[in-house]
Structure 1
Amino acid sequence: MRRLRGLALFLSLGLAVLGGGLNVAAAQDGLEAAKAAGLVGERPDGLVGVVPATVPAEVQALVERINAQRRDRYQDVARSNGTSVAAVQAVAGRQLIDRTPAGQYVMSASGSWVRK
């Protein structure tokens, strides 16, 4: 349990800084806009997903870019903490869903998109 709390703290700090530089900041801004528009939501596995059946190609590309950055970060955290990537993703998913503002989409445990 102590290890999971340490992992949660590490993720809290790390998720705010999923990288560095202008491209990451621009991607984060784009992600926030896509979430606000109801095109993208947070998933329990710590990744983002598209909410409607179809989205513009640039939104799909953004989701893929953000998820690649997150997967890299989760692998680093798992390796540093001697745990599985799945465990890291589960903690991150809970944190990201908890931080999602009301009115935006999150994926339920059953895999359905719901407004928070």
Structure 2
Amino acid sequence: MTKSLISRRHFNRLALYALAAGMLTAALPQLALAQDALATAKAAGQLGERPDGMVGVVPGAPDTAQVLAQQVNAQRLARYQEIAKGNGTALDKVQAVAGQQLIERTPAGQYVMTAAGQWQRK
């Protein structure tokens, strides 16, 4: 029981770091345009959130969606790496926490990827 409580505390701390990273990313001016483009592409059903904290291209999306996904994912990965390094945590754990939060915050009607790798509308 103690081990699971410690794990949960560690998970909550990681969740806070991931959330802070997301807020910092949105605050940077050069990323604001990418965030707007991301929101537009997600609302159009071209991009969706994945469990690994990255965005993915929904089948049938135009080529521009792939370019945007690559840009956003490069920015996200850089932040996730900073968070992991700063906390002495594995990168995949930071990505998993971020992915869970991003999927939870995804509005109804937008795409999210299931753990099985399938796209579905939320």
Q: Quickly name the TM-score band, shorter chain normalised.
A: over 0.9
Q: What is the 5 A alignment of 1:11-50?
A: 11-18=18-25, 20-21=28-29, 23-50=30-57
Unaligned runs of 5+ in 2: 1-6
1:87 to 93, 108, 111: 93
Q: Percent identity?
A: 54
Whose helix proportion is higher, 1 or 2? Answer: 2
RMSD: 1.2
Equivalent position amino acid for 1:50 in 2: V
Number of matched residues?
114
Alpha-carbon displacement from aligned partner over 1:30-84 (angstroms, at most 9, x marks no partner): 000000000000000000000014x333221110000000000000010011110
**Please, which of 89, 102, 113 is the counterpart of residue 107 of structure 1?**
113
Unmatched 5+ stretches in structure 1: none
In structure 1, what residue type is equivalent to 2:84? A
| Partner residue of 2:59 out of 52, 59, 68 | 52
Q: Aligned AA for 2:42?
A: K
User: What does residue 67 of structure 1 align with?
Assistant: 73
74-83 vs 3-12, which deviates more? Answer: 3-12
TM-score by length of 2: 0.88
